Amino acid sequence: MAKGVWIVAEQRNGALRGVSFEIASVARKLADELGEEVCAVLVGSGVEGFAPELAKYGVDKVYVADDAMFADYTTDAYSEAVAKVVKENDASILLLSASVQGKDLSSRLVGKLATGMASDCTDVKIADGKLLAIRPMYAGKCFGEIVVESYPQMASLRPKVFAAVENAKAGAVVKFDAGIAADSLKTKVLETQKDASGKVDLTEADIIVSGGRGMKGPDEYKIIEELADVLGAAVGASRAAVDAGWRPQSDQVGQTGKVVSPNLYIACGISGAIQHLAGMSSSKYIVAINKDAEAPIFAKADYGIVDDLFKIVPEVTAAAKKIL
């Protein structure tokens, strides 16, 4: 009988990533409803010491595969290790983050475990003893409620949508041997090119200031960057701005860009086409600044100013400077 709510913790550059605590907290909530345990799988090199942090967020047991071959994430090594321990323990539910690594690893695990998964979920609950996962589909034009019939029931959770909630448990370490020959791995990381220093990735940012077609050109983004500086925010862009060459692809928020879930999303000169909304509608608060009162973004915004962004944005920066 499949039992236990399992998560795959994510670590990089010598620390657990915040998404690990988000998914641990969700697992804890589901496990308490089912009267089961939360188990985390932690794969890496020199990572055993991270177990107490996972314990803080409700993890009962931490299954650790610690080896030099896991120093860099590779799909092959990590998926084999996780699949082995999850199968041996007949997990009932398996959760990962829908982070970049989580998407790659969870999807490979669907294959290895021959199971089903709800990807990029914005809500999960227990219904009739089974996992019910809720996720956007068709760029968020509708939502699907997914039930996985096979075990483990897998779901990947959209980053920054679920809160990390402290709930101290034992976090007992159980070391396991993944049984992988290091020379059997078929991919390797040749190089890591870090983004410009000090730049927070959009998917990890708490606040994002974003500019769209209304910005008119690349130089005009200076006012967006100044506001972002004062707020400690990351800078985003709509597809129009990226396709026009004003901002890099990595700044694009939307259906063919990044999906972001910040606490605050300030959209400047962005009309709010459905494809853009697909990338930021999980934001907790949305502000729209646009001179077109009919712009669809205003229907989604919590606060809106219908005015010329070139007049408003510098004033917002000035007002923010006064109070922050």
**Of residues 68-97, which lie at the interface with another protein (CB under 8 A)?**
75-76, 79
- Scan for tokens 């940012």, then name that residue: 205
Contact between 189 and another protein (CB under 8 A)?
yes
Single out the residue of 46, 111, 217, 218 in contact with another protein (rule: CB under 8 A).
Answer: 111
Residue with Cβ nearer another protein (45 or 275): 275
Closest approach, Cβ 183 to another protein, in A, equals 12
Q: CA 108, CA 121: separation in Å to the nearest integer?
A: 17
Residue with Cβ nearer another protein (177 or 315): 315
The alpha carbon torsion through 292, 296, 297, 299 (nearest 10 deg) reads 110
Closest CA to 157 of 10, 277, 286: 10
Name residues contacting another protein, limited to 202-221 (CB under 8 A).
Answer: 203-204, 206-207
Length of the chain: 324
Whether 154 and 135 have beta carbons less than 8 Å apart is answered as no
Name residues contacting another protein, limited to 144-163 (CB under 8 A).
Answer: 144-150
Whether 313 and 268 have beta carbons less than 8 Å apart is answered as yes
For the chain, the distance separating the N- and C-terminal CA atoms, rounded to the nearest angstrom, is 55
Q: Which of helix, strand or coil describes residue 256?
A: coil
Closest approach, Cβ 175 to another protein, in A, equals 26
Closest approach, Cβ 256 to another protein, in A, equals 5
Question: What backbone torsions phi and psi does residue 264 show, to the nearest 5 degrees?
Answer: -140, 130
Single out the residue of 103, 125, 213, 291 in contact with another protein (rule: CB under 8 A).
Answer: 103
In the numeric block, which tokens belong to residue 214?
């209304």
Closest approach, Cβ 290 to another protein, in A, equals 11
Residue with Cβ nearer another protein (28 or 156): 156
Judged by phi (left if over 0) then psi (alpha if -120 to 50, else beta), residue 207 lies in beta
Residue with Cβ nearer another protein (110 or 173): 110
Give the contact letters, 234-263, x = binds to another protein (CB under 8 A), - = no: ---------------xx-x--xxx-----x
- Scan for tokens 């070139």, then name that residue: 310
DSSP type of residue 70: G
Contact between 284 and another protein (CB under 8 A)?
yes
Contact between 137 and another protein (CB under 8 A)?
yes
Contact between 188 and another protein (CB under 8 A)?
yes
Contact between 120 and another protein (CB under 8 A)?
yes
Closest approach, Cβ 250 to another protein, in A, equals 6
DSSP type of residue 249: G
Contact between 199 and another protein (CB under 8 A)?
yes
Tell me the site size for another protein, rule CB under 8 A.
91
Closest CA to 162 of 50, 38, 24, 303: 24
Closest approach, Cβ 67 to another protein, in A, equals 19
Stretch that binds another protein, among 25-33, 44-52, 210-218, 310-318 (CB under 8 A): 310-318
- Find all residues with CB under 8 Å of 243, minimum gap 6, and list them: none
Contact between 166 and another protein (CB under 8 A)?
no
Radius of gyration of the chain (CA): 21
Contact between 181 and another protein (CB under 8 A)?
no
Q: Which residues pair with 124 in a beta bridge?
A: 133
